[in-house]
Amino acid sequence: MNAANNHAADSGEASNSEANINMSQAEQSNLMTVYLAYAEEAERQHYLTVKVSQGTTLYEALAQVGWLAQFEELEKWCEQAADMTTPTAKRWRVGVYAQKQPLNYILQPFDRVEVYRSLSADPMSQRKNKSRG
At residue 108, the pLDDT reads: 97
Count of domains for the chain = 1
**CA–CA distance from 117 to each of 4, 57, 91, 120 (Å)?**
59, 20, 10, 9
- On whether residue 116 sits in a domain, the answer given is yes
- On the question of pLDDT at 21 being above 60, the answer is no
At residue 19, the pLDDT reads: 46
Give the whole-angstrom CA distance, residue 79 versus residue 72.
Answer: 11
At residue 124, the pLDDT reads: 64
User: What is the pairing mode between strands 94-96 and 45-53?
Assistant: unpaired
Q: pLDDT of 63-113, one tens digit each?
A: 999 999 999 989 998 998 888 877 775 677 899 999 999 999 999 999 999
At residue 43, the pLDDT reads: 87
CB neighbour list of residue 97: distance below 8 Å, 6 or more residues apart: 111, 112, 114
Burial (CB count <10 Å: 0-12, 13-18, 19+), residue 38: buried
- On whether residue 117 sits in a domain, the answer given is yes
Write down the pTM of the prediction. 0.68
CATH number at residue 112: 3.10.20.30
Give the whole-angstrom CA distance, residue 36 versus residue 30.
Answer: 19
Tell me which residue of 41, 67, 13 sits closest to 78, measured CA to CA.
67
Q: pLDDT of 32-65, one tens digit each?
A: 999 999 988 888 999 999 999 999 999 999 999 9
More confident: 82 or 132? 82
Residue 40 sits in which domain range? 33-125
- On whether residue 11 sits in a domain, the answer given is no
- On whether residue 113 sits in a domain, the answer given is yes
- On the question of pLDDT at 9 being above 50, the answer is no
At residue 129, the pLDDT reads: 64
- On whether residue 15 sits in a domain, the answer given is no
Tell me which residue of 55, 62, 60, 75 sits closest to 36, measured CA to CA.
62
What is the rounded (10 degree) CA torsion for 17, 22, 25, 30?
-130
- On whether residue 56 sits in a domain, the answer given is yes
At residue 7, the pLDDT reads: 44
- On whether residue 21 sits in a domain, the answer given is no
**CA–CA distance from 5 to each of 8, 16, 17, 22, 114 (Å)?**
5, 14, 13, 19, 51
- On whether residue 14 sits in a domain, the answer given is no
At residue 69, the pLDDT reads: 95
